[in-house]
């Protein structure tokens, strides 16, 4: 191997390293975007879950009140 071959090989390796650095930068920025989107989605799903539980609780309370008022005459104002 001559010195010229060594220089050529070193230049090729340098180009590969630059390409690898560029790809790493792209992956890093994509990871930040992904994390931001995942956080927003998790927050949205949490609120959706809270609304669902609130609806379930309200429906349950209403059904229980209907049952209680239909079975209990004093609750309806009757004696």
For 17-42, how does the pLDDT look when each residue is reduced to its tens digit (9 = 90+)?
999 999 999 999 999 999 999 999 99
Query: Has this prediction a pTM greater than 0.85?
Result: no
DSSP state of 73: G
How wide is the angle at C-alpha 45 spanned by C-alphas 43 and 46, nearest 5°?
Answer: 65
Cα 32–chain centre separation: 13
- Of the candidates 67, 27, 41, 35, the residue with the CA atom closest to the CA atom of residue 76: 67
Q: How far apart are CA 35 and CA 60, in angstroms?
A: 37
Q: How far apart are CA 18 and CA 26, in angstroms?
A: 12
Rounded to an integer, the average pLDDT of 50-71 is: 95
């Amino acid at each position: 191997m001559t010195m010229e071959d060594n220089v050529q090989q070193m230049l090729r390796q340098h180009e590969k390293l630059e390409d690898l650095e560029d790809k790493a930068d792209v992956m890093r920025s994509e990871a930040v975007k992904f994390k931001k989107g995942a956080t927003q989605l998790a927050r949205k799903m949490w609120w959706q879950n809270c609304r669902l539980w609130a609806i379930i609780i309200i429906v349950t309370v209403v059904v229980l009140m209907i049952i209680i008022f239909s079975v209990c005459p004093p609750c309806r104002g009757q004696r």
